[in-house]
Amino acid sequence: MTTAPDTHTERELRLTITVHGRPAPQGSKKYAGHRLNSASGRRSAVLVEQSKRVKPWRALVTRAAMEAMLDHRLTVPLDGPLEADIVFTVLKPVSAPKRRRTWPTTRHSGDVDKLIRSTFDGIADAQAVADDSRIIAVTARKTFPGEHPEALDQPGAIIRLYTLPGDPR
């Protein structure tokens, strides 16, 4: 018995988003007091993002994702199993060596998992994906300008979203 060959076994690049601006990690919250819920009469803690850079970064990602959707003529959010490949280009410290490859491993460059979190939220805000929970595979790296083949010449990120083969149900 022979079966028809599966012609769609590879991931398919669906959207490339280029964001210019300083990537910001999202994650750490600080306590900002309590708020009284007028309906229930209960008090709840108010937690706010510690980094002031997160909101502007998410807005940049959202805007860039919306522009990329227009460029790719994508009219509905990507759905089903998705894969993301992200190259974050971060500021190189003035004190870092100029003539040899270095790695962005300081606190200043941000944790890669927290950079992903703020970036995914910006993509979801743009409605480029049905929900960021649809992204089931991620490859991410941090680099300095000019120190990786896909690095930007300034801080930012290149984000590639792929659909994966198979039935999403």
Identify the weakest region by mean pLDDT among 25-39, 114-128, 142-156.
Answer: 25-39
Instruction: Give the tens place of pLDDT for each residue, 64-110.
Output: 999 999 999 999 999 989 999 999 999 887 776 666 666 656 666 67
- Output the pLDDT for position 101: 65
- Output the pLDDT for position 4: 46
Statement: residue 53 has pLDDT above 50 = yes
Mean predicted confidence (pLDDT) in 5-30: 80
- Does residue 42 or residue 61 have the better pLDDT? 61
- Output the pLDDT for position 94: 73
Domain 12-163: which CATH class? alpha beta
Integer Cα distance of 29 and 50 in angstroms: 5
- Output the pLDDT for position 137: 95
Statement: residue 166 has pLDDT above 90 = no
